[in-house]
């Protein structure tokens, strides 16, 4: 194999935005396709820097070529092309490379290379997740995912938020048993026992530990010191949900803001979504045009409208009335019950966003029974200051609330729910010492990528998905 | 409790950089200290936005004040001050707030609030990790950690790298048993058994799974599609190391670059460190001045020199000769053996960086026996193209290499080591299909924070440290 470069060489993206100069250039890339025509070989070359390939043209009558090497320059091969950047006579692009030499790093034997020119199903590509970023779709997903990640950091950094790394391994089973993965170094065979059960004092952390389902509680500790903070890290659910919307391991963004009420929280959530969407529309034009054409027709127009339109804001009670009205008038029928106190189901979210409000809706003030213990209790004794952002096609994309900052109210609610307050003593101290109003929300990163790209299955927007019975790679 | 704000109010940092205007202003913050003098109350207020507090002055003879409320405005209390931003007659700062009103969100009962004015040991503060960001030191650590995180993303994004989220839960025990945490949903009591051992087919993923110790192998898959990628995520070691340098859960940065040899890799590592350090020096002046004065005297000058000086680059063999020379001449004595083939110990790294090269050193071409299977084999049959960056005070801060891109050499090495090649079939396919030279490195984020801040104990540079027998909060 030829040696690599000591210094970086230009990328395909660099070259495609360079005017034809006829100057010598070098490109390292992989062959996407090869076409032979008489003495000419046309290579479409990609290095992942952008969706487009650049064409390299080999004229076998110019110079001397190693035919045995050239025979290996096929789809998937990693090569270096030496040549000059010239104006392209074809209509597809402004420039191409007139090759004067080719070095072959590694071939891709055509008889076994799974990514031949034909189209592959996403199901098939999931089985070769280590190779699928070499395709147009998954390259585009990777670039959009990257642009969104960086946009998230920029959004918060520009607004004075601090990025906080909350723990992944946690001792608190925050959501009740059964939904969490246990983390252990005890041997699966014959773990140490004490008084008839597993002796967790001999586990690595001296206690049972789990993978965190949220970083919110720890983020609150930082918000109540640093003012404005956010997390962006992996979270875990051991849910047996084999759907196109669930992953066992996914990335979540959780801002938490001191001195911020539910209105300020709604503004933040709306600004956040609009910033991320408009950044992607601006910075990933080529990839978004691809999604618009091949994955979800019209997605760009939908997103443009979301960016400009004020999100509807309604209370849960109002939303329920809309659903009841539709049901009573016969203009809609639902499988799940529509009655005050019931949770909104996908069909309800779909109806609200797609039919009633025709766009994103923020629903607030849910019944306390269907929301988490830490949400601020309203004066009515029935509802809490929750706020969920629902979007067409996907449903709930953000869940948040103002937090209960009053120690006695929080403790009373935990007692009602039969929670072990002693497991949350540090969290309660945040209300005991200098408590202030604060709010926050959580957003599943992969759902947002689905929303923006139109990709149907959440397994196709994360590099190596973890789902029930699947942890390959 | 008074209601929170519907829209964000200015931060302490905002106000301190605003000229005195005598205009009305509102500040939400926590009381750091209170001093009473005749009819005046002086409050030092912090909201975490910067190290400095801003002074608010209450003149009890001006306006009417609720004495019972004022009595609760003590260290730790969360309050809102209404007043005007005026020129400060004191020498400490340009502006202060002349208070016309105070609202109390939440008091901090002085008899129990653990963060009174006196200095606290870091050991004590570790026990109240949920409150310690309210102190100067841990606020500064949090801000520097945040600035470094964002600088890391900027560094890579500006250079065309894509951020890749590699999996946390993995099926491959990449480093051999014993160093990894197992992830499971099997019940600890009476897990299902089959043919005499635990039936992992009934575990969540249908197989034993672990927490990843690295994202490198998956990052390589993306580098070999997208060109330049990096990870920045949590990694895990179930090592029983109770030291000031080890965490069971820590964040790691791992760039991986196609078409990049070991020299290009060394340049990247050096540029990376210099960029992060100079960004922190530039953007965290106040916090760095604090560390320079209170934590590690002279750290700023040391870092400034690192940024300007070219890192020394020596082979492992040369480094060993330097150590032997020093030992033979009696100018140094080491506890661990100095002989070709042995790994560099902390004492050796210290001697090389602090005495021989007086600054960071990149050591290359280590004996293959002490390095990982995936490193590119040199022609001598004895060494591999590893590159470790060593720094004074801390030792190894970056470990990297050019990767073995030749399938047959990689397989031969795995056979030598008795590895199960079938567990790595997808990884080997990266060499089978379009293999190209590539390189990368890994950097433990917390070690870098220690290096930059001078903080002695790694548990003090991550919000909620996880170590042997400790997973509180």
B171/A236 touch (CB, cutoff 8 Å), yes or no: no
Asked whether the predicted pLDDT for residue A374 surpasses 60, the reply is yes
Residues of A in contact with B4 (CB under 8 A): 259-261, 264, 402, 436-439
Mean pLDDT of all residues belonging to chain A: 95
Q: What is the pLDDT of residues A330-351, one digit of tens each?
A: 999 999 999 999 999 999 999 9
A106/B170 touch (CB, cutoff 8 Å), yes or no: no
DSSP B400-425: EEEB---HHHHHHHHHHTT--GGGGH
| pLDDT above 70 as % of chain A | 99
CA distance, residue A191 to nearest chain B CA (Å): 8
Q: Pick from A3, A183, A247, A465 the residue to mutate for testing the B interface (most B CBs within 10 Å).
A: A183
Asked whether the predicted pLDDT for residue B393 surpasses 70, the reply is yes
B226/A48 touch (CB, cutoff 8 Å), yes or no: yes
Give me the pLDDT at residue A173, please.
Answer: 67
A163/B169 touch (CB, cutoff 8 Å), yes or no: no
Using CA coordinates, name the residue in chain B closest to A402: B4
Asked whether the predicted pLDDT for residue A272 surpasses 60, the reply is yes
B133-177+213-460: same fold as B12-106? no
Residues of A in contact with B205 (CB under 8 A): 248, 466, 468-471
Residue B473 to residue A222: CA distance in whole angstroms: 12
Asked whether the predicted pLDDT for residue A413 surpasses 90, the reply is yes
Residues of B in contact with A472 (CB under 8 A): 171, 426
CB atoms within 10 A of CB A187: 10
Give me the pLDDT at residue A172, please.
Answer: 80
Q: What's the average model confidence in pLDDT over B166-188?
A: 84
Give me the pLDDT at residue B7, please.
Answer: 82
pLDDT band at residue A8 under the 50/70/90 scheme = confident
Choose between A179 and B263: higher pLDDT: B263
Asked whether the predicted pLDDT for residue B331 surpasses 60, the reply is yes
Residues of B in contact with A30 (CB under 8 A): 225, 434, 436
Residues of A in contact with B146 (CB under 8 A): 157, 162-164
Shortest CB distance from B471 goes to which of A133, A171, A472? A171
Residues of B in contact with A246 (CB under 8 A): none
CA distance, residue A330 to nearest chain B CA (Å): 39
Using CA coordinates, name the residue in chain A closest to B438: A4
| pLDDT above 70 as % of chain B | 99
Shortest CB distance from A133 goes to which of B49, B166, B225? B225
Asked whether the predicted pLDDT for residue B117 surpasses 90, the reply is no
Asked whether the predicted pLDDT for residue A177 surpasses 70, the reply is no
Using CA coordinates, name the residue in chain B closest to A13: B160
Give me the pLDDT at residue A5, please.
Answer: 78
Asked whether the predicted pLDDT for residue A213 surpasses 90, the reply is yes
Asked whether the predicted pLDDT for residue B4 surpasses 90, the reply is no
B130/A427 touch (CB, cutoff 8 Å), yes or no: yes
Residues of A in contact with B162 (CB under 8 A): 48, 142-143, 146
Residue A302 to residue B45: CA distance in whole angstroms: 46
CA distance, residue B185 to nearest chain A CA (Å): 5
CA distance, residue B143 to nearest chain A CA (Å): 7
Q: What's the average model confidence in pLDDT over A10-20?
A: 95
CB atoms within 10 A of CB B120: 15
pLDDT band at residue B435 under the 50/70/90 scheme = very high
Asked whether the predicted pLDDT for residue B267 surpasses 80, the reply is yes
A with B: how many residue pairs have Cβ under 8 Å apart? 385
A198/B188 touch (CB, cutoff 8 Å), yes or no: yes
Shortest CB distance from B468 goes to which of A204, A259, A261? A204
Spell out the SS3 assignment of chain A. Answer: CCCCECCCCCCHHHHHCCCCCCCEEEEEEEEEEEEEECCEEEEEEECCCCCCCEEEEEECCCCCCCHHHHCCCCCCCEEEEEEEEEECCCCCCCEEEEEEEEEEEECCCCCCCCCCCCCCCHHHHHHCCCCHHHCHHHHHHHHHHHHHHHHHHHHHHHCCCEECCCCCEECCCCCCCCCCCEEECCCCCCCCEECCEECHHHCCCCCCEEECCCCHHHHHHHHHHHCEEEEEEEEECCCCCCCCCCCCEEEEEEEEEECECHHHHHHHHHHHHHHHHHHHHHHCHHHHHHHHHHHCCCHHHHHHHHHHCCCEEEEHHHHHHHHHHHHHHCCCCCCCCCCCCCCCCHHHHHHHHHHHCCCCEEEEEEEHHHCCCCECECCCCCEEEEEEEEECCCEEEEEEEEECCCHHHHHHHHHHCCCCHHHHHHHHHHHHCCCCCEEEEEEEHHHHHHHHHCCCCHHHCCCCCCECCECCC
Asked whether the predicted pLDDT for residue B221 surpasses 80, the reply is yes
Would you kindly state where each structural domain of chain B is located, as residue ranges?
12-106, 133-177+213-460
Asked if A266 contacts A314 with a C-beta cutoff of 8 angstroms, the reply is: no
Q: The whole model's pTM is what?
A: 0.97
Using CA coordinates, name the residue in chain A closest to B128: A426
Give me the pLDDT at residue A7, please.
Answer: 82
B473/A30 touch (CB, cutoff 8 Å), yes or no: no
Asked whether the predicted pLDDT for residue B178 surpasses 80, the reply is no
Domain A12-106: what homologous superfamily?
Nucleic acid-binding proteins (2.40.50.140)
Mean pLDDT of all residues belonging to chain B: 95
Give me the pLDDT at residue B404, please.
Answer: 98
Residue B338 to residue B398: CA distance in whole angstroms: 22
Q: What's the average model confidence in pLDDT over A90-111?
A: 93
Q: What's the average model confidence in pLDDT over B98-111?
A: 97
Shortest CB distance from A207 goes to which of B167, B206, B471? B471
Asked whether the predicted pLDDT for residue A399 surpasses 70, the reply is yes
Asked whether the predicted pLDDT for residue A178 surpasses 60, the reply is no
Shortest CB distance from B3 goes to which of A3, A30, A261? A261
Q: Pick from A104, A436, A460, A461 the residue to mutate for testing the B interface (most B CBs within 10 Å).
A: A436
CA distance, residue B44 to nearest chain A CA (Å): 15
Using CA coordinates, name the residue in chain B closest to A404: B1
CA distance, residue B228 to nearest chain A CA (Å): 8
Q: What's the average model confidence in pLDDT over A382-393?
A: 97
Asked if A463 contacts B170 with a C-beta cutoff of 8 angstroms, the reply is: no
Residues of A in contact with B182 (CB under 8 A): 183-185, 188
A171/B146 touch (CB, cutoff 8 Å), yes or no: no
pLDDT band at residue B175 under the 50/70/90 scheme = low
CA distance, residue B270 to nearest chain A CA (Å): 13
Asked whether the predicted pLDDT for residue B114 surpasses 70, the reply is yes
Nearest to B54 by CA among B22, B24, B21, B87: B87
Give me the pLDDT at residue A30, please.
Answer: 98
Choose between A242 and A276: higher pLDDT: A276
Shortest CB distance from B434 goes to which of A78, A189, A435? A78
Give me the pLDDT at residue A6, please.
Answer: 79
Residues of A in contact with B111 (CB under 8 A): none
Asked whether the predicted pLDDT for residue B177 surpasses 60, the reply is no
Using CA coordinates, name the residue in chain B closest to A235: B168
Q: What's the average model confidence in pLDDT over B446-471?
A: 97
Asked whether the predicted pLDDT for residue B176 surpasses 60, the reply is no
Q: Pick from A104, A167, A247 the residue to mutate for testing the B interface (most B CBs within 10 Å).
A: A167
pLDDT band at residue B164 under the 50/70/90 scheme = very high
Give me the pLDDT at residue B400, please.
Answer: 98
For residue B130, the 8-state DSSP code is T
pLDDT band at residue B93 under the 50/70/90 scheme = confident
Least-confidence region, from A313-327, B162-176, B417-431: B162-176
**3-state secondary structure at position B88:** coil
Burial level of A91, CB count in 10 A (0-12/13-18/19+)? exposed
Domain A133-177+213-460: what homologous superfamily?
Bira Bifunctional Protein; Domain 2 (3.30.930.10)
Residues of A in contact with B106 (CB under 8 A): 405, 431, 433-436
Q: What is the pLDDT of residues B18-45, one digit of tens each?
A: 999 899 999 999 999 999 999 999 999 9
Give me the pLDDT at residue A390, please.
Answer: 97
Q: Pick from B137, B183, B202, B449 the residue to mutate for testing the A interface (most A CBs within 10 Å).
A: B183
């Amino acid at each position: 194999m030829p040696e690599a470069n000591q210094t970086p060489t230009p990328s395909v993206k660099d070259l495609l935005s360079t005017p034809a100069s006829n100057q010598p250039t070098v490109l390292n890339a992989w062959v996407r396709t090869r076409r032979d025509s008489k003495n000419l070989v046309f290579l479409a070359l990609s290095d992942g820097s952008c969706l487009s390939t650049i064409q390299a043209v080999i004229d076998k009558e110019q110079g001397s070529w190693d035919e045995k090497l050239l025979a290996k320059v096929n789809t998937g091969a990693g090569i270096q092309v030496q040549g000059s950047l010239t104006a392209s006579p074809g209509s597809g692009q402004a420039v191409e490379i007139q090759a004067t030499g080719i070095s072959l790093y590694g071939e891709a034997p055509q008889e076994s290379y799974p990514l031949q020119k034909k189209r592959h199903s996403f199901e098939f590509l999931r089985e070769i997740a280590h190779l699928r970023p070499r395709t147009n779709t998954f390259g585009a997903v990777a670039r959009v995912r990257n642009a969104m990640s960086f946009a998230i950091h920029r959004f918060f950094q520009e607004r004075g938020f601090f990025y906080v790394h909350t723990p992944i391994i946690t001792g608190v089973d925050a959501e009740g048993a059964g939904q969490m993965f246990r983390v252990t170094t005890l041997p699966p065979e014959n773990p140490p026992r004490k008084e008839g059960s597993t002796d967790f004092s001999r586990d690595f952390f001296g206690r049972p530990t789990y993978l965190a389902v949220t970083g919110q509680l720890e983020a609150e500790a930082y918000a109540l010191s640093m003012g404005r903070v956010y997390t962006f890290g992996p979270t875990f659910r051991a849910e047996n949900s084999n759907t196109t919307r669930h992953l066992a391991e996914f990335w979540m963004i959780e801002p938490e803001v001191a001195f911020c009420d539910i209105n300020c929280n709604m503004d933040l959530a709306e600004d956040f979504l609009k910033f991320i969407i408009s950044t992607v529309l601006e910075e990933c034009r080529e990839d978004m045009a691809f999604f618009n054409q091949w994955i979800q027709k019209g997605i760009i127009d939908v997103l443009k409208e979301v960016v400009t339109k004020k999100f509807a804001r309604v209370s849960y009670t109002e939303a329920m009335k809309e659903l009841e009205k539709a049901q009573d008038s016969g203009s809609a029928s639902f499988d799940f019950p529509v009655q005050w106190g019931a949770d909104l189901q996908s069909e309800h979210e779909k109806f609200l966003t797609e039919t009633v409000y025709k766009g994103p809706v923020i629903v607030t003030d849910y019944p306390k029974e269907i929301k988490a213990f830490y949400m601020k209790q309203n004066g009515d004794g029935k509802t809490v200051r929750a706020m969920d952002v629902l979007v067409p096609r996907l449903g709930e994309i953000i869940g948040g609330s103002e937090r209960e900052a009053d120690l006695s109210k929080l403790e009373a609610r935990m007692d009602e729910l039969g929670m072990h307050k002693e497991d949350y003593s540090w969290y309660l101290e945040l209300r005991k010492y200098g408590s202030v109003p604060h709010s926050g929300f959580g957003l599943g990163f992969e759902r947002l990528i689905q929303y923006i790209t139109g990709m149907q299955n959440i397994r196709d927007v994360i590099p190596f998905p973890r789902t029930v019975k699947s942890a390959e790679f």
